[in-house]
Amino acid sequence: MNAMNRGWFGRKGFKSGAAAFFAAAFFVAFSGAAQAAQGDFEEGTRAYASGDYDKAFTFTMRAAEDGDARARTAVGLMYELGRGTRRSGREAVRWYREAAKQQFPMALFKMGEMYEYGIGVKQSDEEALSWYRRAANENYGDTPYIVGTWYRAGKGTAKNDSQAARWLERAAKKGNMQAQKILGEMYLKAEGVIQSDEDAAKWYLKAAQQGDAESQYAMGLLYIFGRGVYQDAEDGIKMFEQAAAQGYEDAYYELGIMNLYGEGLWMKKPAMAYEWLKKSAEAGNAKGMYALGGMYQKGYEGVVAKNDAEAARWYETAARKGHAGAAAALGMMYITGDGVPADTRQAITWTHKAAMQGDVAAQFNLGVLYSKGESGTTDYAKAAEWFRKAAEQGHAIAQYNLGWLYGNGQGVPFSANRTFYWFEKAARQGNADAQYSLGMLFEEGWNVEKDTGKAIEWYRLAAAQDDVKAKERLNALEGRATSVSGTVDTNTGSASFEQPDFIK
Whole-number Å distance between alpha carbons of 430 and 473: 18
Which residue range forms the structural domain that includes residue 477?
358-504
CA gyration radius, the chain: 34
Q: Using one digit for the tens of pLDDT, what is the confidence trace for 431-456?
A: 999 999 999 999 999 889 999 999 99
SS3 sequence of 224-270: HHCCCCCCCHHHHHHHHHHHHHCCCHHHHHHHHHHHHHCCCCCCCCH
Q: Using one digit for the tens of pLDDT, what is the confidence trace for 481-491?
A: 444 444 444 34
- 396-408 and 416-427 are packed helices; what angle lies between their axes, rounded to 10 degrees? 160
Whole-number Å distance between alpha carbons of 265 and 286: 25
Nearest to 271 by CA among 304, 297, 299, 296: 304
CATH of the domain at 457: 1.25.40.10
Within-domain flag for 242: no
Q: 277: which residues sit within 8 A by CB, 6+ positions away? A: 252, 253, 256, 257, 260, 288, 291, 292, 295
Whole-number Å distance between alpha carbons of 230 and 21: 45
In 45-179, the DSSP E strands lie at: none
Residues 385, 388, 390, 392: what is their CA dihedral angle, to the nearest 10 degrees? -140
Question: Domain tally for the chain?
Answer: 1
SS3 sequence of 158-175: CCCHHHHHHHHHHHHHCC
Nearest to 245 by CA among 221, 279, 273, 274: 279
Distance of CA 401 to the CA centre of its chain: 34
Q: Which residue type sits at 360?
A: V
The reported pTM is: 0.78
Nearest to 143 by CA among 112, 120, 114, 165: 112
Whole-number Å distance between alpha carbons of 299 and 454: 46
Whole-number Å distance between alpha carbons of 494 and 435: 12
Q: 276: which residues sit within 8 A by CB, 6+ positions away? A: 244, 252, 253, 255, 256, 259
Per-residue pLDDT of the chain (504 residues; tens, 9 = 90+): 333 333 223 333 333 334 433 444 454 444 443 433 447 889 998 999 999 999 999 999 999 999 999 999 999 999 999 999 999 999 999 999 999 999 999 999 999 999 999 999 999 999 999 999 999 999 999 999 999 999 999 999 999 999 999 999 999 999 999 999 999 999 999 999 999 999 999 999 999 999 999 999 999 999 999 999 999 999 999 999 999 999 999 999 999 999 999 877 768 999 999 999 999 999 999 999 999 999 999 999 999 999 999 999 999 999 999 999 999 999 999 999 999 999 999 999 999 999 999 999 999 999 999 998 877 778 999 999 999 999 999 999 999 999 999 999 999 999 999 999 999 999 999 999 999 999 999 999 988 999 999 999 999 999 999 999 999 999 999 875 444 444 444 344 344 444 444 332
Measuring CA to CA, how many Å separate 421 from each of 125, 253, 415, 473, 493? 56, 41, 10, 22, 20
Cβ atoms 362, 376 nearer than 8 A: no
Within-domain flag for 466: yes
Cβ atoms 129, 157 nearer than 8 A: yes
Within-domain flag for 54: no
| Number of Cβ within a 10 Å radius of residue 36 | 4
Q: Which residue type sits at 190?
A: A
For 418, counting Cβ atoms within 10 Å of its Cβ (0-12 exposed, 13-18 middle, 19+ buried), the class is: middle
Within-domain flag for 299: no
